[in-house]
Every structure is written in C-alpha cells, then in structure tokens.
Amino acid sequence: MPEISRAWNGFIDLPRELEEGLIEIGRTLPAWNMEGAFLAGSTRERYRAELVAAPLFDDVRDRLLSVLSGATGGYAVVRLGRIAQTLGIEVSFLRLATAILSEVAAPFQPFCRWPLWKEIGTNLDAKPGLSTGTGYNAFHMDLVNATRPPDYTALLCVRPDPLGAGASILSDARAAVSRLTPSSRTLLAEAAYGYGSFFDLCDVGEEYKPFPVLDGEPTNLGFVRFTAKMLAEPGLDEAHAHAARELADRMVAGQVSFTLQRGDVLIVDQHRWVHGREPLGVGQHDVASGERRLLLQLFLRDTGATGPIAS
C-alpha cells in the first residue's frame, strides 16, 4: 500500500466489477490516432463510448473529476495495479490508461520527438537532481518557461524503485504563496526568473523568459511558475532569489509524499500543485537496468482554457 504523509482520500480504487470490465475493454480498444501533438478527437470519442459502457465507470470518473477540482484537491492517484497485473503495462494497458485520462482533458505530447507516453527512467549517469537522476528532484512544474504549459501532468508507475525509496512529493503551490510575506509576493510577480532551453516543442505557446512566478491570472488560467532549478540560473539577483527561496521553503513545509506502486497513475493539476521526487535508494548500481524505477509521462490540455501570454 502507498505510504502517505497525511490523511487524504485522493487515491481512486476501482470496484472489482469495474476492473473486470476495463480489462475486457482494454483488450479490444483500437490503436489511437493523433492530430498533430494531440490525441485525435475521433479516438477520444471512441474510447469514451467504450468506457461509459463499463459498470460503475461514471461514478469513478465523477469522483476523479471531483478530487481534481475540489477546494482541497488538485491531484489524484488512479490505482490500476490489478489491471496492470492482468494486461501487463504494454499496448493494451496504455490504451486503457489513455482513455481514462481523456476523461480529464485532452492528451497531448509537447515534446515533438517523443511518443504520446514519454519514458522517465533511471539513468545513473544523469545529474542526480534531474527527473531521470537518482537524487532529490526538487519541486517544479513542467514546461515552466512556456507561455502555455500543460494543464495537467500524468505519471504512470511501471516500476517503483526496488530499493523502496523515490517517493513522489507534491505541494499546494497556491497555499504556499498565501503564506508568503507581501514583499516576497511583490518580487515574485516581477518577470525576473528563467530556466531551461526551449526547442522542439509543440502546442505550448512561445518561450517565456524572463517570467514571473506569480502571473496574476485566475487559478484556472494562471500558474505558479516555479522550479527550484531557476535558483541556480545566472543573473538572478539576491532579492528575487530570496523571495523564491522563501516560496520553496513554504512548499517543502506543506508537502505530501507517497510511493507510487506499479499501475498507479498520478494526475497533477499544474495550475495549483508542484511535484518532485525524493532520492532513490542507495545502491542503484547493484540493481539491473531493467529493474530500476521507470515511469511514463503524459500531458493533458484543458481545451476550454487558454494560458497566460507573455507580454
């Protein structure tokens, strides 16, 4: 069972009857089609027609959407472990997971060179703080330097760390902002921050650099544009760095953590929450490469929303 740092009801366990129905559906779902970077509308319609016929699916979907949109929500974990045990995390399972995520928003892949599901493996040669590294992956939102980042990021656990570490960490970015001093909020609203490169991307707008952490947009449109890695960027003055460090400290103080298990799908609303990962277990060199932690990532766009545009 996942370990979680405080009581929370956002783990979506499926009724056995629904699991059995989804296993049968997963075996017959057709391959998806793409329209540019997005899952084709015809594929979403076909997948939805299959899902709504499954017993109790509407109830589970409604609960998922309620958890994601609720005042204390903003992230959820859909537990598909027993389905993964039957189907394996291969083509049939990925079609089914994609169909379920399509009920939240439109799946798309902003990295033009990658498939719809992007691998996040464990690379012993990568810098420890990167998503593929073995160290602490500090709080961030994905594609922080795009004018239209994905509205949701979804992470599917194919293999947890066999050494028992690498817990996912999340924090309510907007709650953290509310605990800041007024002077820090003023500094964070100024376009003084930057991070990362910007190339070979699709449907995420333009490069946003420098960007403000607080863009002043309503919650459903704006973002708390934060990545701890921006603190190491050259040219950031001490006042703005101090404000960002204060925000980082507030995020850490309010974090939740849990360990994803095989088949778990974590969905994070990027307008409200940031995510990261605790270090993997010591001794990764002793773990065979095919047994190390592996996630798959998929992004979602709320097609009814438009993101903030750099001025």
Domain spans in the chain, listed from the N-terminal domain onward:
11-301
Give the mean model confidence (pLDDT) for residues 117-136: 97
Higher pLDDT, 309 or 170: 170
Give the mean model confidence (pLDDT) for residues 65-81: 92
Reported as a pLDDT band with limits 50, 70 and 90, residue 72 is confident
Strands 273-277 and 168-172: antiparallel
At residue 220, the pLDDT reads 87
Give the mean model confidence (pLDDT) for residues 107-118: 96
**Number of H-type helices and E-type strands within the chain:** 8, 13
Higher pLDDT, 135 or 7: 135
pLDDT at 86 over 80: yes
Q: How many Cβ atoms from other residues are within 10 Å of residue 260's Cβ?
A: 25
Answer for the pair 155, 303: CB distance below 8 angstroms, yes or no: no
At residue 303, the pLDDT reads 82
At residue 311, the pLDDT reads 31
pLDDT at 126 over 60: yes
Enter the DSSP assignment of 171: E
Give the mean model confidence (pLDDT) for residues 152-178: 98
pLDDT digits (tens, 9 = 90+) for 220-233: 899 999 999 999 99
CA-closest candidate to residue 273, choices 219, 215, 212: 219
Answer for the pair 129, 136: CB distance below 8 angstroms, yes or no: yes
Fold for domain 11-301? Double-stranded beta-helix (3.60.130)
Give the mean model confidence (pLDDT) for residues 112-125: 96
Share of the chain above pLDDT 90, in %: 91
Reported as a pLDDT band with limits 50, 70 and 90, residue 304 is low
Reported as a pLDDT band with limits 50, 70 and 90, residue 214 is very high
266, amino acid identity? L
pLDDT digits (tens, 9 = 90+) for 243-299: 999 999 999 999 999 999 999 999 999 999 999 999 999 999 999 999 999 999 999
Residues 148, 301: Cα–Cα separation, whole Å: 9
Q: Name beta bridge partners: 159.
A: 294
At residue 8, the pLDDT reads 53
Write phi, then psi, for 76 (nearest 5 degrees): -155, 160
CB neighbour list of residue 244: distance below 8 Å, 6 or more residues apart:
188, 193, 213, 226, 230, 231, 236
pLDDT at 3 over 70: no
Torsion of CA 107, 65, 10, 79, to 10 degrees: -50
